[in-house]
Structure 1
Amino acid sequence: MPEGDTVWQVAHRLHAALAGRVLTRADLRVPRFATADLTGRAVLDVTPRGKHLLTRIEGGLTLHSHLRMDGAWRVYATGERPRGGPAHQIRAVLGNEEHTAYGYRLPVLELIRTAEEPRVVGHLGPDLLGPDWDPEEAVRRLLADPARTLGEALLDQRNLAGIGNIYKSELAFLAAVTPWLPVGELAPGVPLRLAATAHRLLEANKDHPDRRTTTVRRPGTPLHVYGREGRPCLRCGAPVRKAELGDRVTYWCPACQRGPGPEPSGPRPPND
């Protein structure tokens, strides 16, 4: 699933191609909105909210989309043949005289009143890349359920918006705790440092297509643990492990990260 920095990049591309221009083509290929006619209306802006995309259109309308696992928006010069996948996978087309955006495999696509945006994004926590970013509020939400695992709490968009499976694993590594550690057992100060690190990493990566969380410059080392099962930890050399946490896989270094693992393993090391 695209994470907050990737969604920010998509919104930036769509905004550059569509905002301030009148739609000469608009085709929503979902039954509920197939008859909606948006041609002749100007796109006002394209705004990311966590992992959601809000395309605001003249007349008080917003096209709400979410990429989830497989969705994508591709922008081409108007008249250029789209290459984002088979034509039957296109769910939305928004075009003007210069650019046309195609939404592929969009699992969420709905046309709503702009005034109704809180209905679809109002549940989200502070946006790591938004003007509402509030680390103290994010920490308050993260710690609201002390028994919840860190991995699950980080993925819950109601706590802070924009973290996906990659950042979940990387943030736990950088905090030197396993994703299975209950958030209530984090040492004082760690939750706020986690929030600050998440904000710093997404900010650093939002303008770069190749995500990086490490300072190691060797080839194949942009991430500390994610996707590195069986390979040596960049910090200590121990093999990185992979296991299920909820309905997602997670990666961690059993030597560098303190706390419980996916199986019962006796007393937990102290988290100090």
Structure 2
Amino acid sequence: MTDTAGTTDEPGHGGALAVPASAVWLKGQLLEIASALHPDRRPVVVREWTDPVRLHDPAPVGHRFLFLVCVSGGDPPSSAGFDDVLNAFTVAGWNVHRRSSGHPGESWATARREEFEVKVYEGDGPGILSLTGWTPVVYTERQLGQPLFTLTTATGVLCDDCHGWGVCLLCEGRAYSGGSGGYGRCSCAGNNAGPGKCVECAGRGFLTSDAVSWKRKQYGLPAADRSDAWPQPPAEDGHDSNTSAFADVAQRPCVCGEFRCFWCNILTPADDHLLSRFTGICQGCAAQRSYAFTLPPRE
């Protein structure tokens, strides 16, 4: 499953990027597991994209390949649920770990296999059942270690200073400057971040909430809403299923231009129809994003 063999050109990965064997294998795994759960229903690849990985220069030194697959939309309710998905990953040789959910009725889990990871999510209602999978970073030239995070995998906004590595890029985490001789201590050694750690994010790989607020001001954006109350947008029409609404939301960018966002979904009956709500934190500016859709009633 390492990238020592040939590559395949596919659209949707930054144009001219060649898709490595690792990405082809991961996408196949996600579709195979999802298809086995619903033999009569084809899983939907909602989006596929790449996360660039940078060091000092703006040009990427590598990319991580990602896939978002919708197993079911909750309309009608699926016969195969969250536990069935986890069992399928276990049978396929993945290590599965349940995660605590921040909202009642939702279920989260991660599945790992070597350096591959999949985030399994089921919404409330039950809502969307989705798989978000990512490959290890594939480097174009010299091989480097794996960063703590990339744009999609960060639990917040990726640090602009270390690009998600979590280490000071001046000394590359060694706390000493001056080349191979190791003479002279790097400025990061005397900072609260600790020797060799990134000063801006204190080694976490993503920005603090205060740093995010400053970043939003630089882009001319309003301060991020840190309250527990999510925006309540008016319900939109135009979708005949929750899966269709999910595919729509996954393509919409935030006001900052970033589309990356782990979406939560709640599907509830409302009068003579279903109401689907999607919420998530933008991974580019930490804004609270929210959409609502009116769906046909279940038969």
For normalisation by structure 2, the TM-score amounts to: 0.22
